[in-house]
Structure 1
Amino acid sequence: MSGQPPSVPAPPGPYAELFAWSAQMRATEPVVFDESMGLWHVFAYAEAKRVITEHETFSSEFTTPEEELAIFSTGNLALMDPPRHRMFRNLVSKAFSPRSVAGLETRLTGLCAELLDNVATDRPVDFIEDFASLLTTQVMAELLGIEAQHRHKLRVWSDALLSQNRTGLDLEPALLAEIARTTEEMDAFLRKELIRRRETPGPDLISGLVRAEVDGERLGDDEIVGIVTIFLVGGHVTTTSVLASAAQCLHEQPEAVARLRADRSLLPTAIEEIIRYRPPFSRVVRRCAKDTELGGRPVPAGAVVVVWLASGNFDETVFDAPERFDITRTPNPHLGFGNGVHFCLGAPLARLEVRIALDALLDRFERVTLRETGAPLDAYDPFGGILALRKLDVVFEGAPAVRAD
């Protein structure tokens, strides 16, 4: 794979290499076989959308021989095809129904206020450590019905698993050992939670899964633990990533901030643009279920296809001036939350959390400024699939005199 990258600016920050590479590939080889890894890469929007929506041709089902990863495969909606996927998704989607999500707004508003009451102003704080991660962990814990004294564990486990993220599709033995230690702790804790729910059920998601049936049969403990694990890690990672991206954009786009402060009705389209501009995941992987053609290239059954969502979001044939951050961009058919049957189940909740958080930040502070340290921002490996910062030092400055509505 070669070629000169076109002069399309990428979002500033630790992902510049990824965006420059994907821009080059869109222009030269939008669908290409990578001989070194034995898989296909897809960079263009049209082909990317086709792969993630045509589940009959491009399957999400993968098996892993590693016992350490079993917790991520059993009950994992992202690794299921219909009709099994549809049954499991219907069970979990009740927690994310429009009515359920809307009912969280008052609690989220209060939680944002509590967290921002405790952050320092006019000196650097870690936006992720002191606000975004706390917010998302608390929300996940409340939805799962985890008691307050145990909630810190959820964040520790999620962060530990993220720290083990890497570039390749295969995992080294030492890395598997680290994952095993974390997943064993999670598994033991969640199985105790299942026992507690059977004895004292509540309105939380775990209790709902314990009561749920698929084809007249109860879910097994392995399936429930798998569903909850993916729900916990995915929900925490996705929303924390979007919140960090929002903070970066608030720093980089003062004109957009002024418009949002003057007109809060722009928040929904602004959030969609944040997700397009800095999506929470760079890529997804599919397996070709039958011989097909993709972008004019024959792709055989069994081939692994890597779909670069971050690249599709900057496709010049779909998005006008994709390098421009535009909070009024409409339509905005980004792939940041996926598409088709595997569209992110937690997207409504993530959007609500980010909207309430941005509203609170705009109310409280005149500026959210990134602290310039001279060192590059530390991020989880963008080529490993997750676009999330580990740390984001910011300064919350001043307070607006009056909220403009």
Structure 2
Amino acid sequence: MPPDLDRDPFAEPRRRDGVLLADFEGEPISMILGHRAVREAAKAWQTYSSDAPFRVPIPAETGVRSVRQLPIEADPPLHKTVRDQLKPIFLKPAAPDYAARIEALVGRLLAPLLDAREIEMVRGFALPLQSIALTHLLGMPETEAEEWIAWGTHVFHDGADGGAKGAVLADYIRRRIDAARRNPGADLFGAMTRMTIEGRPLTDDEMAGIANLAFAGGRDTVINAVAAVIAHFAQDRPALDLLRGEPRRLPAAVEEFIRVTAPLTHIGRVCPHGAQIGPYRVAAGGRVSLCWASANFDDTVFDAPTELRLDRNPNPHLGFGSGPHSCLGAAQARSILRALIRQLAERTAAIDLVAQERSEEHFGPITRTAGFRSLHVRLHAR
């Protein structure tokens, strides 16, 4: 089953007062849990600011990178200025020809795995899929993905010192920026040489901040979602067969997987002037958490939220965030998951779940399973 589908770890504190106070590396952070409250906070950027370099992710990333991620660590108008210029790149997955390319990519990566004895799907399939698909999004050669795959499932926190891994990513980005300065192309790096802020070109640090987010922001989240889809259909073949016979159901199914897996548990905001969050007072400069994973199980919004209903409609989930900072990579993630489900339905007769090791996140007394450290399956060809 997808992580957390059988339970809602945030249910009790959400129903009690809508807030959970949790410790993150010695920093107490109030987690906003309710669907309505999270949406309202996501829009109220003057109260809950993203203008907080290194402190938007939780835990903070002060020790693993040296540049401010843009546009996620900025408020309007800077946020909108950068985001609007990135949209032509990140909305490419909406085009039919792009969707066909992702479809072909998923089929190509699945083909050698069919009828193999056993495959570890996190690093053996989901990681290469996310990395190669990213080359398509950013307009770069597929060969670039070979280096990206070597970074692991998370570019900062994947079994190695985060600072050392961050330095590897930073060096890669600086090399690509230098090359784009000399010879601007049509890829992300070339596009950034033509972007402006208040009429001036981007600095190298601003370009590095955009690229850092592009490589780090949608990596483990997409990998988690891909693994969750495979794990679920290994145990619910009838649902996959239904989608094969009725492909019009695919978009709704993808949205439901995003709701129940909530690949990004939460994100941070800083309160410049302080705030009252339920019973807790946040000091000026203190952080709060917008907890997407809790909001997506709010039973005042979703009927039977712990049930995965592939035809759920309406489905106002917050799996891609909410407000001005809603995820720019949402179209890419949807394209990958649609192609994955379609290919699994059409090309497999059965998926055997052999072994799994889930990842866990801890919030005080609460534990949430979020993705898989490993997922071993056998894929039987149709």
- Band the TM-score falls in, shorter-chain normalisation: 0.7 to 0.9
Structure 2 match to 1:346: 329
| Cα gap change, 1:33 to 1:130, in 2 (>3 Å) | closer
| Cα gap change, 1:75 to 1:163, in 2 (>3 Å) | closer
2:125 counterpart letter in structure 1? F
Count of aligned pairs between the two proteins = 372
- Per-residue CA deviations over 1:119-141 (Å, capped at 9, x if unaligned) read 14152211222322111101212
Aligned with 2:9 (options 17, 21, 27): 21
**Deviation of the 1:158 alpha carbon:** 4.8
1:151 counterpart letter in structure 2? A
2:14 counterpart letter in structure 1? R
Separation (CA, whole Å) in 1 of partners of 2:284 and 2:120: 47
Separation (CA, whole Å) in 2 of partners of 1:99 and 1:395: 30
**Deviation of the 1:325 alpha carbon:** 0.8
| Cα gap change, 1:386 to 1:149, in 2 (>3 Å) | farther
Separation (CA, whole Å) in 2 of partners of 1:101 and 1:230: 23
| Cα gap change, 1:348 to 1:149, in 2 (>3 Å) | closer
Matches within 5 A, 1:90-109: 90-97=84-91, 101-109=95-103
Q: Secondary structure at the match of 1:244?
A: helix
Matches within 5 A, 1:157-196: 157-159=151-153, 161=155, 163-164=157-158, 178-196=161-179
Separation (CA, whole Å) in 1 of partners of 2:336 and 2:154: 23
Q: Secondary structure at the match of 1:104?
A: helix
Aligned with 1:57 (options 5, 26, 47): 47
What is the TM-score normalised by the length of structure 1? 0.83
- Per-residue CA deviations over 1:338-383 (Å, capped at 9, x if unaligned) read 0011110000111011111211111100222321x4xx62326465
Asked if structure 2 preserves the Cα contact closer than 8 Å seen for 1:380 and 1:390, the reply is no
Shifted more, 91-100 versus 290-299: the winner is 290-299
Structure 2 match to 1:31: 19
- Residue 208 (str. 1) matches residue 208 (str. 2): no
Matches within 5 A, 1:233-382: 233-295=216-278, 301-371=284-354, 373=355, 377-379=357-359, 381=361
Shifted more, 35-44 versus 323-332: the winner is 35-44
Shifted more, 275-284 versus 43-52: the winner is 43-52
- Per-residue CA deviations over 1:35-93 (Å, capped at 9, x if unaligned) read 8843312222111222122112211222459864444x424322111111111111221
| Cα gap change, 1:32 to 1:325, in 2 (>3 Å) | closer
**Deviation of the 1:199 alpha carbon:** 2.9
Asked if structure 2 preserves the Cα contact closer than 8 Å seen for 1:94 and 1:100, the reply is no
Structure 2 match to 1:170: none
- Residue 144 (str. 1) matches residue 138 (str. 2): yes
**Deviation of the 1:102 alpha carbon:** 3.8
2:45 counterpart letter in structure 1? H
Unpaired runs of 5+ residues, structure 1, are 1-10, 166-174, 400-405
Structure 1 match to 2:150: 156
Structure 1 match to 2:72: 78
Separation (CA, whole Å) in 2 of partners of 1:338 and 1:241: 16
Separation (CA, whole Å) in 2 of partners of 1:205 and 1:64: 22
2:38 counterpart letter in structure 1? A
Asked if structure 1 preserves the Cα contact closer than 8 Å seen for 2:2 and 2:261, the reply is no
- Per-residue CA deviations over 1:148-193 (Å, capped at 9, x if unaligned) read 544222122253535358xxxxxxxxx8xx2222222222222221
Separation (CA, whole Å) in 2 of partners of 1:149 and 1:104: 18
Identical pairs, percent: 26
2:300 counterpart letter in structure 1? T
Separation (CA, whole Å) in 1 of partners of 2:335 and 2:2: 26
* CA root-mean-square deviation: 2.8
| Cα gap change, 1:133 to 1:68, in 2 (>3 Å) | same
**Deviation of the 1:202 alpha carbon:** 2.1
Asked if structure 2 preserves the Cα contact closer than 8 Å seen for 1:313 and 1:334, the reply is yes
**Deviation of the 1:322 alpha carbon:** 0.6
| Cα gap change, 1:302 to 1:189, in 2 (>3 Å) | closer
Separation (CA, whole Å) in 2 of partners of 1:219 and 1:385: 39
Separation (CA, whole Å) in 1 of partners of 2:346 and 2:127: 20
| Cα gap change, 1:140 to 1:382, in 2 (>3 Å) | farther
Asked if structure 2 preserves the Cα contact closer than 8 Å seen for 1:145 and 1:205, the reply is yes
Separation (CA, whole Å) in 2 of partners of 1:357 and 1:16: 20
**Deviation of the 1:396 alpha carbon:** 0.9
| Cα gap change, 1:130 to 1:310, in 2 (>3 Å) | same
More strand by percentage: 2
Separation (CA, whole Å) in 2 of partners of 1:211 and 1:149: 25
Separation (CA, whole Å) in 2 of partners of 1:246 and 1:361: 10
Separation (CA, whole Å) in 2 of partners of 1:135 and 1:261: 21
Separation (CA, whole Å) in 1 of partners of 2:93 and 2:132: 20
| Cα gap change, 1:132 to 1:190, in 2 (>3 Å) | same
Structure 2 match to 1:111: 105
Separation (CA, whole Å) in 1 of partners of 2:118 and 2:314: 37
Q: Secondary structure at the match of 1:366?
A: strand
Structure 2 match to 1:387: 370
- Residue 87 (str. 1) matches residue 67 (str. 2): no
**Deviation of the 1:294 alpha carbon:** 4.3
